[in-house]
Amino acid sequence: PRKIVVRRARRTDAGAVAQLYFETIHRVNARDYNVRQIHAWAPQVLPSAFWRRRWRNYQVWVATEGLRVVGFAEIEPTGRIDCFYVAHDRQARGIGRALMKRIKQEAQRSGTERLRADVSITAQPFFEKKVFAVSGGEDMVSAVQFLALSNGENGWKKEKKQ
């Protein structure tokens, strides 16, 4: 297996990210959502310019194996994780774990107190394993992870479920 490298996204990654986003939704999320929902979510491969424009508002990380982009994550300055996707053919191989590790490192470095994400039903088990408190409805769930800063601990803790 090739080494997973997580780095900041480059403008030239936009095409690979666009394809990965579309394929993951259509091949992985399709297990949990119907055709109408999938097509509303990702009706086509969005142009690279869309992604480059979007990234102005996010810290964006990509996971690569060799030259191939195999995952990506977008994080707002508030600690909200927007997109978090791993290539359909690279699921359960440590890529999501590597992306999450980098996100947590950056959050701690910048003093972010919590990470938050609205995640798909498909992604819920991954976020629960990463010590996020998960709650929500039928199609999307909210996941929150608090960073313990006030008592000097250097770790993550689970929020109590409401």
Q: Is pLDDT above 70 for 61? A: yes
Q: Is pLDDT above 90 for 131? A: no
pLDDT at 149: 35
Residues in Cβ contact with 55 at an 8 Å cutoff, skipping those fewer than 6 apart: 9, 14, 74
- Partners of 118 in beta bridges: 142
pLDDT at 117: 81
pLDDT digits (tens, 9 = 90+) for 6-44: 999 999 999 999 999 999 999 999 998 889 889 888 999
Burial label, 44 (beta-carbon count in 10 A; 0-12, 13-18, 19+): exposed
Residues in Cβ contact with 130 at an 8 Å cutoff, skipping those fewer than 6 apart: 97, 100, 145
Q: Predicted confidence band at 157 (pLDDT cuts at 50, 70, 90)?
A: very low
- Residue 2 one-letter amino acid: R
pLDDT at 78: 87
Q: Is pLDDT above 90 for 147? A: no
In this prediction the pTM is 0.82
pLDDT digits (tens, 9 = 90+) for 71-130: 999 999 888 898 999 999 999 999 999 999 999 888 888 888 778 887 888 888 887 776
pLDDT at 14: 97
More confident position, 75 or 137: 75
148: number of Cβ within 10 Å: 12
